[in-house]
Amino acid sequence: MSEVFAPQRSSISGNRAALSWSVLFIASTSLLFSLCAIFVGFHHSIFDFHGFRQAQTAISAEYMEHGGAFFHYQTPVFGPPWSIPFEFPLYQKIVALIAEHFHTPLDETGRTISIAFFYLSFLPLSSILKRLGYRPIQVLAVLSVVAVSPLYIFVSRMFMIESTALFLSIMYVDQTFRLAIDEASWTYGHMVLAGVLGTLAGLVKVTTFAPYLLLGCGLIAWYGRRFYKKRTLSVASWTAAAFFCLLLPVLCTALWTRFADAQKSKNPIGIAFTSKSLASFNFGTLADRLNPSNYVHLLHAFAGQIGYLPALCLLVLVYGVLVRKWNYSALVAAALYVITPMIFFHLHVLHEYYAYSSAIFLIVAAGLLIADMLALPDNRAWIGLLFLIILIASCIVRYRSNFYPLQQNNAPGRPEAAAMIDHTTSPSDIIVVTGLDWSSELPYQSHRRAIMDSGGVAAHFPGSLGPIATVIRMQHADTIPEIVVCGDSRGSNRAEALLALLEIQPSSPLHADDCDIYLRSAH
């Protein structure tokens, strides 16, 4: 009888080997494509996409590189005391230290660190998938989709904190998995490490860490309750896990937010950017959530995360027909993908890159369905391989159409205006800028501290200059050699009021990059 079935077993074994080698080839190709794509435009400026946010991060790193403070780090756009901290500056400090010690260009250094943290995230993600019971070849299939996601290729090479926060958040979840899956692993080492990583993730970017904290708490509560019922877990161990994995990150993040708000409140303009003042901006309003166009916008951004929606829908349908069971890990991941933008609704609608924190849940959910299909016992497993190819191909197509053109274009910023500012002022001088909101782009490009006329703040003071007048008086107007008026603000009443306050004659300005530069006569 064994001789009858031996050829069939040999055929099955050969079939599985061929499938495994195919997945390995596809995963290697996907990683190679990801690496090639992520370095497109590596030496370009940081003004290609959300330059406002990239420059805000970069200018803080630049001042740290030259000896600036760490906790009270400078973002010199609102006047003295020049510190308006938002996130804990771990990423900025790493970039500054490397640029300082290795004498590398700051922009390229920032990009390199961001890219490194993205690919380092594959390590804890692989660990989590293995603890869920997936074999290495299935893990490779999931990682290959993450590697070619258009959003992750593009945003990971930006001068921003996103990949640092993502890496720390996944590391935190990995530790909670190690802690929760097996009662033998309920050791204080995993608890403390989860607490440290969770704390850093929350400090670096709480909006990224939030869904991972929910996942970590859910794991501790679910498995802790199960082990406690089996009497294999003590109350002390469960309490310690709750403290380190939940309370410590929340407490430290709250303390940092309180500290950051106190720093911002030292500046009349900065008061408008405290957590309380930005609450509706961050979380959105009920009206935002009832506006159908916002959901259309979020659905449109979906294609930049995982390719084409019809391909994903077809994957779910075929999975249901072939596998005929629930994948609860995929369901949890999909739920977290939906929950995250619902919490920080306005931020996700306004900034496409905010999906960086949650899109990985959707990608992993789709990858897990493919992984299950690859484990089917017969030729149906090849359908999983087919969907892996389809998903990767759709991601590559969307990347080529959506993000590749942006990477190819070296956005100049305002080089002529920056050069004029550099030529007509000294490094210790301060400039006033109106018409560019509070973007750090021009101050960063011109290497000057600036008092930016924030449009959002100015809107609350239609009949006066508002807090910017207070800041200028704090700085002393005679220490400000020029004012830069850009865009629609050129010739406006507000620009004239600022010129009058600074006692600068509104005549014969310099012109460059849609900006007028007014100098004091002495300059």
Q: What is the pLDDT of residues 429-474, one digit of tens each?
A: 999 999 999 999 999 999 999 999 999 899 889 889 999 999 999 8
- Structure-block tokens of residue 414: 């305002």
> Are the beta carbons of 305 and 150 closer than 8 angstroms?
yes
> Are the beta carbons of 204 and 179 closer than 8 angstroms?
no
The mean pLDDT of 327-342, rounded to a whole number, is: 95
Length of the chain: 523
Query: Is residue 423 situated within a structural domain?
Result: yes
How far is residue 195's CA from residue 217's CA, in Å, rounded to a whole number? 12
The mean pLDDT of 501-521, rounded to a whole number, is: 89
Pairing of strands 482-486, 430-434: parallel
pLDDT of residue 475: 86
pLDDT band of residue 241 (cuts 50, 70, 90) is confident
Whether the pLDDT of residue 85 is over 70: the answer is yes
Query: Could you tell me the sign of the dihedral formed by the alpha carbons of 102, 108, 113, 119, in that order?
Result: negative
* C-alpha closest to that of 438 among 129, 118, 59: 59
Query: Is residue 133 situated within a structural domain?
Result: no
Query: Is residue 16 situated within a structural domain?
Result: no
> Are the beta carbons of 370 and 388 closer than 8 angstroms?
yes
> Are the beta carbons of 392 and 370 closer than 8 angstroms?
no
The mean pLDDT of 356-383, rounded to a whole number, is: 94
The mean pLDDT of 80-104, rounded to a whole number, is: 96
* C-alpha closest to that of 159 among 57, 250, 247: 57
pLDDT band of residue 203 (cuts 50, 70, 90) is very high
User: How many structural domains does the chain have?
Assistant: 1
Counting Cβ atoms within 10 Å, is residue 265 exposed (0-12), middle (13-18) or buried (19+)? middle
Alpha carbon separation from 379 to 12, 14, 317, 386, 488 (Å, rounded): 9, 12, 18, 12, 64
pLDDT band of residue 328 (cuts 50, 70, 90) is very high
Whether the pLDDT of residue 164 is over 50: the answer is yes
> Are the beta carbons of 175 and 219 closer than 8 angstroms?
no
* C-alpha closest to that of 198 among 179, 231, 171: 171
- Structure-block tokens of residue 493: 């009443």
Cβ partners under 8 Å of residue 338, min gap 6: none
Whether the pLDDT of residue 148 is over 90: the answer is yes
Cis peptide before 81 (omega within 30 of 0): yes
Whether the pLDDT of residue 226 is over 90: the answer is no
Whether the pLDDT of residue 72 is over 90: the answer is yes
Q: What is the pTM of this model?
A: 0.93
Query: Is residue 61 situated within a structural domain?
Result: no
pLDDT band of residue 230 (cuts 50, 70, 90) is low
Query: Is residue 215 situated within a structural domain?
Result: no
Displacement of CA 170 from its chain's centroid (Å): 13
Cis peptide before 509 (omega within 30 of 0): no
Q: What phi, psi does 433 have (nearest 5°)?
A: -130, 130
Q: Where are the alpha helices (DSSP H) in 205-247?
A: 206-229, 235-242
End-to-end CA distance of the chain: 99
How far is residue 486's CA from residue 40's CA, in Å, rounded to a whole number? 31
The mean pLDDT of 98-124, rounded to a whole number, is: 97
How far is residue 95's CA from residue 90's CA, in Å, rounded to a whole number? 9
Whether the pLDDT of residue 13 is over 90: the answer is no
Q: How many Cβ atoms from other residues are within 10 Å of residue 30's Cβ? A: 23
Counting Cβ atoms within 10 Å, is residue 423 exposed (0-12), middle (13-18) or buried (19+)? exposed
> Are the beta carbons of 124 and 174 closer than 8 angstroms?
yes
Whether the pLDDT of residue 195 is over 70: the answer is yes
Query: Is residue 12 situated within a structural domain?
Result: no
Alpha carbon separation from 45 to 110, 117, 154, 161, 271 (Å, rounded): 12, 20, 14, 17, 31
- Structure-block tokens of residue 367: 């990858």
How far is residue 491's CA from residue 484's CA, in Å, rounded to a whole number? 12
* C-alpha closest to that of 301 among 392, 207, 403: 403
How far is residue 74's CA from residue 80's CA, in Å, rounded to a whole number? 10
* C-alpha closest to that of 159 among 216, 103, 227, 96: 96
3-state secondary structure of 434: strand
pLDDT band of residue 255 (cuts 50, 70, 90) is very high
How far is residue 392's CA from residue 453's CA, in Å, rounded to a whole number? 45
Query: Is residue 124 situated within a structural domain?
Result: no
> Are the beta carbons of 65 and 74 closer than 8 angstroms?
no
Whether the pLDDT of residue 299 is over 80: the answer is yes
Secondary element (H or E) of residue 114? helix 106-120
> Are the beta carbons of 97 and 103 closer than 8 angstroms?
no
- Return the ∠ at Cα 152 (arms to 150 and 157), rounded to 5°: 110
- Structure-block tokens of residue 418: 């920056």
pLDDT of residue 2: 39
Q: What phi, psi does 49 have (nearest 5°)?
A: -150, 120
3-state secondary structure of 452: strand
Cβ partners under 8 Å of residue 69, min gap 6: 83
- Structure-block tokens of residue 375: 């484990």
* Domain region containing 499: 415-519
The mean pLDDT of 330-342, rounded to a whole number, is: 96
Q: What phi, psi does 292 have (nearest 5°)?
A: -60, -30
Query: Is residue 254 situated within a structural domain?
Result: no
Displacement of CA 142 from its chain's centroid (Å): 21
In terms of pLDDT, which residue wins out, 519 or 226? 519
Whether the pLDDT of residue 232 is over 50: the answer is yes
pLDDT band of residue 221 (cuts 50, 70, 90) is confident
The mean pLDDT of 45-61, rounded to a whole number, is: 95
Provide, rounded to the nearest whole percent, the portion of the chain with pLDDT above 70. Answer: 94
pLDDT of residue 1: 37
